[in-house]
A and B are shown apart, each in its own frame.
Chain A
Amino acid sequence: MSQEKKEEKKVSRRSYLKYAGAGVVVVAVAGVGGYYATLPAPAPPTPSSTTVPVTTAPVTTAPVTTASMTPTYTLKAFDPRFQSWLEGTATELEDLFSQATIDWTQAKGQTVKLICMTDHMIDPLLDLVPIFQAHTGITVIPDRYAETELRDKTYMDLMTGTGLYDVVYTGDEMVNAFAKPHVIEDISPMLKDTSVTDTKFTDPSDVMNLDPCRYLAEYGGDNDIYMWPISAHSTILNWHKAKLAENGLSGPPETFDQLMDYASKCKRSDKGYYGFCMRGKRGQGTNMYLWPAFLWGFGGRFFDEKYVPQLDKPEAIQATKFYADILINYGPPGTADYDFSEDLTETAQGKVAMSIDDPVLSAWLFDPTRSTTVGEWWFGTHPGGPAGWFPAEASWDFAISTKSKAKTASWLLLQFWASVPSLSYTHMTTYHAANRKSCLDNPGYKQEFAKYNNLADVYAKSIAKASPTYRPKIPEWKAVGDTMGAYLSSAIAGEISAEAANKGMQTDVYAIMEKAGYYK
């Protein structure tokens, strides 16, 4: 390019300033405009406190009709197979709304932003949102993540006080971790407040697993409820009747010794299946979901009264040894990396004779889109050790952030989702076992679960037996559980012995607890 043209191409200072200034103005205007455009609609004036002083006698109110709001909505099931169920559920919910004991429009115009999982249980809940929005005028905005990312984001949002979400979806093992620093709302006062709690929708006595959602006094809490469960989970033994019969066995094993014996007899490389399978992948929600059953079963415990870990005791070592041995000797290769999905794959494809996992897995064995062995599985309670049997305890729950500016709206949403029709629809369509007693008596639910052999019966027994302190409900559980899970995974991979694994657990967990100030 010639020198003259280069001179012409140079931008003069005036031109630069003109264009730069124009650019800044445009960006500023766009930014301000965008900010106001995305602002939620102003909320109606709310009382200074969402709680009302508890009265000594319950105040009865006349049913509130929602005639001022004409509920119109379009329903579309996440799976077309369930469209008729969804419509039936809508009818049941309309019936409940017609008998409402509170004003469901009291938070009209508010928005509830929630973080939840991409897992299947959220799909039917979101199916029902149009009904809720039509009756309440509340907008629901879900943000969905896979489990690991959900846990991380929830933890970050609550602990840093960001306040991005009004409602979070979390496991009950986190109740103390969140309740202690007061980052989630105490639901108990709301339960007693008859202006915000509809007794037609919400009945605490009907929920089977409310205790694990309390911030227990033994952990320094007030025993109040801080989370609302929509599912109850435990651990169940899945056993393949035909495969066990093929090896001269009948009925499920009931003790650890029997389990090991059955697994050894059922490992049949000539037939193309293994004896037993369960989670081996490291993590407080993966292998640490199952391992405590063996710890308690052998008579061990996590901590003593002063929170000093007891993981190097013979019972704890025995639990690790049993867990590793049964998987190394009789499980599929690579179980050290097995999560729920690998367990499901092996079980549903009939590659194992027995497995232990969540009842969700058990129910999915009857889903023809997931299982090639539909109807072939039966179920037993978790085998026990010398100290008894200890099925896992867990639940997925909703909690309200203390930073939420829509707490009443959030509580209304939780009540709606935890109602009998909503939960029945949710659990029927996702092959879950429900956590409300009334659901178990729901005719549609009963009819559906009768197809799953003896699952409903075994599930009810397991939930009744499950203890809220199955895993320590300390705020440090995430760190403790993940640390222990890494050692257990190493033992399952054959990298270290059970003794070395438990010694490592003891040292590292002690360091975590010491850093957290338990030994001052």
Chain B
Amino acid sequence: MTDPRIRASIRYPNDLTVPGMWHVRLVRSPYAAARVTHIDTSLLPEGVVVLTPSEVEPLGRYGCQISDQYVLAGVARHVGDPVAAVAAADEATAREAANLLEAGYERLPAVLDERDALRAGAPLVHDTHAVSDSDAAYFGLRPLEGTNVCHRFRIRTAGLPQGEPYTADPEPDDHAEGFDAAEVIVDETFHMPAVQHVAMEPHACIANWRDGKLEVTTGTQTPFNMRQDLARLFGLSDTDVRIVCPPMGGSFGAKTFVRTEAIAAAVARRLDRPVRLALDRDEEFVTLTRHAATVRIRLGATRGGRFVAKRVWCWVNTGAYADCGPGVAMKMGYAGVGPYRFDHVAVDSYCIYTNLPPAGAFRGYGAAQSVWASERVTDLMAAELGVDPVDLRRQNLLVDGDVFCTGETMHDVHFEELLDDAARAVDWQPGGDNRGKGVAVMLKGMQTPSKAEVGLRRVDDGRFEVLSGTTEMGQGSAKAIAQLAADLLGVDVDQVEVPPPDTDRVPYDTRTTSSRSTHMMGRALEAAVEDLKNSGSDYGHGRIANEGGLDVDTGQGIASSHWHQGAAAAAVEVDDETGALTLRSVHAASYAGRVVNRAAAELQQEGSIIMAIGTTLFEELTFDQGQVVGPNLSDYNIPSALDCAAVSQTILEVGGAEVHGLGETALPPVPPAIGNALASLGYRPTELPLTPERVLDCAEDPP
């Protein structure tokens, strides 16, 4: 049977309609920081309903890690912040009404840069920071009251001074301990701008109240987090909120936690009828972005090339609302250490509010920003030492049994194999001329701790249904889960159905992020199949967890129950007059453990590489007084078919290994591989994207 996606028999959230539904359009702040002084609806046509901030203020605030967001903003904190919602029976009327609604604003001072937000006198985006009591706030949160820092994460390995007070200094001048034995030191600062997910399908949801129960049909990767957040907002028990998740037309992190669902639910309750809220493309750019970040790294090594110490600072721009920024800041912090042995490691990662649109989950989840910095620094060190960059890495890479900077012991480690594969892909000449070539290797964590539960139902003789909270966004999770279940049950994959998640029917799962689902659901299914066999009934339940977590004040503990491991290599040419960079070859090698569906795995990897090409060469959100410049697909380019001629990949499998996620692994190492390749030609890139202009600006010997 042909896949329903090819001839469009699939239905996405954006396709869905419900009889009698009304249409919601949002009115958004044109200013980065402003108090809404009044809302004038006098010009609106008949039959239009308006929801204002004062009406929804009593609902309180929400936020997956910091409760900092009202359903509608009475104080707008970014350009595009929704300040009113307009509903009408047809979309055209709702649009017209949204244009005619007049809101008055009292402008407030705004801050846009992550380091400026830390300077004395910077306006506070939020006056106080309230930690959320939600499942998504799964680690200790450390907001710094009286500052724009909503979370800080610290790593200090044993042997370094512990428990020092926090300074959140934008220009730290610490001569951190641990570098005494370092004979060569490299210290450099890097920057990665915000980008936008640009999922092809925009955000769309339908909200409806039925007998006091809220039902939301939406594209989301986080159904249970959303259920909890909406339940709390509306004063309901979790089971009185139902989230239904049709397969999405892409997400990449954009469709996580509460985005437009709370507004839709509030309007639906006011109207006592179902409502649809779908965004236009320009609205996508102010809904969620990837964290811009400034990362500074100081690396110390012996002259013989042994890494001694690493000091990492991350200033993470989370925009107007924290969303999962604290978690991203934490993951950025330890990913920036890299898969290497050190005597001493110190990391300080700050999640910082600014008056830019909110940043949140994005494929790579913080790793891309710090791996860019970290792997560039590795090459800068190789250049200082006059050694081959591949050899320098090999010399210091973690192997099985080594201890990571968090104190956890590494297992199932394959960094060297991946690095070797990547180097081979660009025909790396050991100790020879590798001009135009670059490599990178990295590690990224998988959500730890987390839980996954799955239900397995025997429908009739020979057919089964898997009840899983994993949501489909193109990664092929439904197929992979069906395959895993079929293998365990010893039946054909066509006999297993995996319906889209409905929180009324499927058991709890942490969320579909972090490339965790195939791995976690696979393990839960093993337990469920066992249970089915033993239960003597038609239902089996599997419940597993991965334990661990980090102490956010020391960074010690278990960051990841298993690690996503990846390497990349690139071969490039540069036109030194225009700065145009041509990719001769881009290769990623990732560790997969055991592959469930080869085609899907290759697609995820190719997709990550291609997305990384966009990040590296041209994707960038620029702002004019906080407003996104050119929020459309003509002014914001994403990679086309013509931009990926050079892509190749390796998926490393090991017999008997566990399934490892692959959804993100190839993204973080690609930008530094390209950057290192460029650097080898006489450039010193620190800022992405590497547009021709930036390439010329970082030439070491300008003509």
- Does B associate with A? no
Interface residues of A (CB under 8 A from B): none
